[in-house]
Amino acid sequence: MKIDRLYEKVGGSQTIKAIVENFYDRVLADPSLAPFFPQADMQALRAKQVMFINMLMGSSRTYGGGNLAAAHAGAREQGLNDEHFDALLGHFEAAFNELGVAEDYTREMMGLLETSRSAVLGR
Ligand code: HEM
């Protein structure tokens, strides 16, 4: 079977679950980002983020979470801006690196996450 989707190339849902786990541990340890997550049900959020990343990486599984612009309205009221977005992407990249994902795939993934900026920041 020809492996051409990023989802398979990085090792499928097991790798993505481990990346999202590592990522949120970093986000919650970051004093510039942690204040955005007090209300969030982190177990549910981790599960939704795994679905979202699976979808972004070309998995045939559907993303059952809500619209990104709407989901971040509360965070925007709290002052969410480009700096927070850049910091969060930095934690994604660190998590990909820590899980040993090849640099090319990590760079491709950062490009895909960047496409969420306008929805998350509501512009
Ligand atoms: C590439 C950037 C981002 C992606 C792909 C992303 C993705 C998501 C997804 C899939 C959800 C779940 C939506 C739902 O509940 O249906 C979510 C919720 C959330 N995100 Fe993001 N997000 C991003 C950036 C950020 C940033 C920069 C912050 C704040 C620093 C943030 C804070 C939150 C919070 C607090 C929630 C939970 C909302 C709630 O349930 O009350 N996100 N995000």
Q: Which atom of ligand 1 is nearest to the CA of 88?
A: 27
In a domain, 93, yes or no: yes
Predicted structure pTM score: 0.92
In a domain, 82, yes or no: yes
User: Which DSSP state fits 35?
Assistant: G
In a domain, 1, yes or no: no
Give the pLDDT mean for 61-69: 83
State which residues form the domain around 27. 6-120
In a domain, 105, yes or no: yes
Domain count, the chain: 1
88-122 residue pLDDT tens: 999 999 999 999 999 999 999 999 999 999 999 99
* Residue closest by Cα to atom 26 of ligand 1: 85
In angstroms, the Cα distances linking 97 to 25, 107, 118 are 14, 10, 25
Name the token pair of 99.
Answer: 């899980």
Distance between Cα 2 and ligand 1 center (Å): 33
15-30 residue pLDDT tens: 999 999 999 999 999 9
- Contact 20/46 with Cβ under 8 angstroms? yes
Name the token pair of 27.
Answer: 């986000």
Q: What is the CATH number of the domain that holds 77?
A: 1.10.490.10
Name the token pair of 115.
Answer: 């496409």
